[in-house]
Structure formats: C-alpha cells, structure tokens
Amino acid sequence: MFVYDALSYEDYAITMDETIGDALRLMEKFSLEHIPLLDDKQQLQGVLSKEFLVDENPDSLLSSLRSMQPILAYVLEDQHILDALQSITAYGFDVLPVLSHDRHFQGYVDQRTLVRKINQMLGNQETGAIIVLDMGLRDLSFAHLAHLIELEDTRILCMSTRELEDTNHLEVTIKVNTTRIAAITSALQRNNYRIKAVFNDGNDPADIKSRYEMLMNYLEL
C-alpha cells in the first residue's frame, strides 16, 4: 500500500498570506498540533507547530515569522505507507505533507487515516485468531511457520516480529483466517515452538483453560 492510498481529504494546510490567528483557529478546528504551511504557488514551506505560534501576535502574517523556521518534513506520494508511519512517528506530527517527485504539494496523511489503512493492510478487519510465539533470533523461519500453518488448511493474514530488548529472542505475532486453531497450536508445539499467548480463538471455557495452560508452560521454560 502506497502513501497516495492514504491521502486525507480534509483541508489542513494554510498559506503564508494568512495570519497566525488563522493558523491557530485551523488547528483548533481539527484538534491538531501541526499543520502544513504553503506559499502562494501551493509549494510546501514546512510544517507549523502550535507550540511556536501560541505566544506570537495572532494578527501577524505567517510570512512575517522570520525567526521561526517551519520544519521541512514530508513523504513522497509513491513511498510505502509504512515509511509515512515511520516519519509521522519520528517527528511526532499529527499530519505529514505529501509531495510528488517534482516536489509539488499533493496533500497530507494524518494519524487517523494511517491507522485505518495499516489496519486494512494487515488484514486486521478480517476475523481470525492471533498466535504469539517466543523464539531465539536464529530460530525464525517464515517458510517453516507458513508451511505448518498452511498444512492445517489455514491462511496467514499477517505476520510480524518484534525483537525483545536485552535478550536474544523475538516475539512473533501471527494472525490467521480462522478462530479454530487447536490443530495449529498443536502442530507448533510438536515442532518445539513456544506459544506465549493466543487471542480470538473462540473464547469458550475450554479455550480459556488452554490459554492458561500455555501461559503456565511458557513461564516454566
């Protein structure tokens, strides 16, 4: 999924011939801390922060703010959506401008739209169980995990990893397209995979007991 798939249709931008008060009112309207600043040719000049505007004269034009340099942060429209997530998180922005390769302003991505699109990309809108594994860094084989799961006539919706701090272990999260995962968890355990937790697996008393036993087995390792 690309950045252009997540463009927001809200008009968050403001131009340099508008006032600081206009910028603050726009931020208030959309509950934002940051908005893109454009010139009269709709070229990006940077991202304005509410923190730097609140103590300024609200009647002053944005073009008069010589002492304040807006942060020139953006993503290109054909970058991957995860690049946009990385940038918007790194800068701590509410919205992030989007440019074409010739640096023309195309619009913006915002946190809310990014979360919705990434949720879609990860298949998280589909019903299915989530299995969390704990394994050594060198023990991970996506191919082997996929093989075991697909042998049970199950499709993987998404798989992600997270390196556990101060250890040589990974946490592997797998979402599958079914809530009936008893055969899958049995296959994983037979192949010496440590199951840390399972979610959305039916939630009946037997499932709860099974999850409890898995957790106890994991903690005893």
Q: Mention every residue, 6+ apart, whose C-beta is less than 8 A from residue 118.
A: 1, 81, 82, 85
H or E element, residue 118: helix 111-121
E strand map for 13-155: 14-15, 34-38, 44-49, 75-76, 95-99, 105-110, 130-136
Please give the CATH number for the structural domain made up of 130-220.
3.30.70.260
pLDDT value at residue 166: 85
pLDDT tens per residue, range 63-78? 887 655 678 899 999 9
Residue 198 φ/ψ, nearest 5 degrees: -135, 150
CA distance 194 to 157: 20
Instruction: Locate 154 and state its tokens.
Output: 């199950």
Fold of 3-120: CBS-domain (3.10.580)
- As annotated, the residues of the chain forming the CATH 3.30.70.260 domain(s) are 130-220
pLDDT value at residue 123: 80
- As annotated, the residues of the chain forming the CATH 3.10.580.10 domain(s) are 3-120
- Give me the residue label for tokens 């990434």: 118
pLDDT tens per residue, range 36-71? 999 888 899 989 999 989 989 999 999 887 655 678
Q: What averages of pLDDT result for each successive group of 10 residues across the chain (221 residues)?
A: 89 92 95 92 90 92 75 92 94 93 90 90 87 95 97 95 92 96 96 94 56 55 47
- Give the number of other CB atoms < 10 A from CB of residue 45: 18
Of 48, 94, 39, the residue nearest 71 (C-alpha): 48
- Give the number of other CB atoms < 10 A from CB of residue 154: 19
Q: Could you tell me if 53 and 79 are in contact, meaning their C-beta atoms sit under 8 angstroms apart?
A: no
- Give the number of other CB atoms < 10 A from CB of residue 43: 11
pLDDT value at residue 200: 85
Strand partners, 80: 2
- Give the number of other CB atoms < 10 A from CB of residue 138: 8
pLDDT value at residue 221: 47
pLDDT value at residue 206: 53
CB-side neighbour CA atoms (13 Å) of 26: 22
Strand partners, 71: 47
CA distance 220 to 214: 10
DSSP labels for 131-185? EEEEEEGGG--HHHHHHHHHTTT--EEEEEEEEPTTSSEEEEEEEES-S--HHHH
